[in-house]
Amino acid sequence: MQPDTTPDLECEWCGRSMSRHMRAYYFGFDPTGAPAIDRILCSVAAAGKGHHHTERWTEAEEGEESCVALIQRAANEAAKAVEAAARERDELRAKVDRLVSRGIEDLRHESDELRARADEAEGNLASLADALNVGARENGLREVERYRDLDEMRGAVDALAINLGHARAQLGAANERVKKAEARAKELEVMLKEGAKTLSFYGAHNQAEQFRAALAQKEPKP
């Protein structure tokens, strides 16, 4: 079996080996996968590994950072990450709302126009059909004499019926686009809710404060 020659990388936050930077003397943590939270955990682990007693966590060599300062800095960075993620989520939600609202409004306007054209064409068709029936039944030439003969009038009626069919087809297509846009809006809302789950570390800063308070209670009293 060949020995493992994979280099052990160094944690860019605490400076310890990546294979051990979550371990202390008496406890350890598992990475969460969220960098902001993992920096808090490795800071606490580094403090636990560096000193057996928490009373020394505030000590530091000249030019170096104490364990408490490292933990506090990690918590501050996590708070900034949470705020940035929340702002990005709100901006994305507002942008989606604007796009969806604009798209649905345009499609509804187009649908209303097509519906009005279809209604007008249907009314014209009904009027011409009535005129044709009256002309054929009563020989009322006043309505028919605008056309050269009865066949020309029937051709006009047929052409209008075809236009009405086209208008109805366009109206149906527009209604389908409205339905798809509304469905897409619902999908985007679901995506936003799923994205909000990634902000589960939102309370990381408060958890860090509670952890420090718990540690302070365990410190030996002078």
The model's confidence at residue 67, banded by pLDDT at 50, 70 and 90, is very high
Q: Is residue 208's pLDDT more than 70? A: no
Contact between 13 and 43 (Cβ < 8 Å): yes
Instruction: Please give the radius of gyration of the chain, using alpha carbons only, rounded to the nearest integer.
Output: 37
Reported as a single tens digit per residue, the pLDDT across 68-92 is 999 999 999 999 999 999 999 999 9
pTM, entire model: 0.47
Predicted pLDDT at 132:
73
Using DSSP's 3-state secondary structure scheme, residue 112 falls into helix
Tell me which residue of 116, 112, 107 sits closest to 178, measured CA to CA: 107
Reported as a single tens digit per residue, the pLDDT across 4-46 is 444 578 898 988 888 889 999 889 999 999 999 999 999 999 9
The model's confidence at residue 99, banded by pLDDT at 50, 70 and 90, is confident
The structure tokens listed for 218 are 């365990």
Which residue reads 């942008």 in tokens? 95
Predicted pLDDT at 213:
59
Contact between 130 and 157 (Cβ < 8 Å): no
Give CA 83 to chain center in angstroms: 17
Q: Which long-range contacts (CB under 8 A, 24 or more apart) does 144-151 make?
A: none
Q: Is residue 209's pLDDT more than 60? A: no
Reported as a single tens digit per residue, the pLDDT across 141-168 is 555 555 566 677 777 778 877 877 887 8
Predicted pLDDT at 163:
77
Tell me which residue of 34, 38, 32 sits closest to 13, measured CA to CA: 38
Predicted pLDDT at 146:
55
Predicted pLDDT at 202:
47
User: Counting beta carbons within 10 angstroms of the beta carbon of residue 74, is it exposed (0 to 12), middle (13 to 18) or buried (19 or more)?
Assistant: buried
Predicted pLDDT at 31:
93
Predicted pLDDT at 15:
87
Q: Is residue 193's pLDDT more than 70? A: no
Reported as a single tens digit per residue, the pLDDT across 104-147 is 888 788 888 888 888 888 888 788 777 777 766 665 555 555 55
Predicted pLDDT at 2:
47
* Cα 122 from Cα 163, distance rounded (Å): 10
Contact between 181 and 104 (Cβ < 8 Å): yes
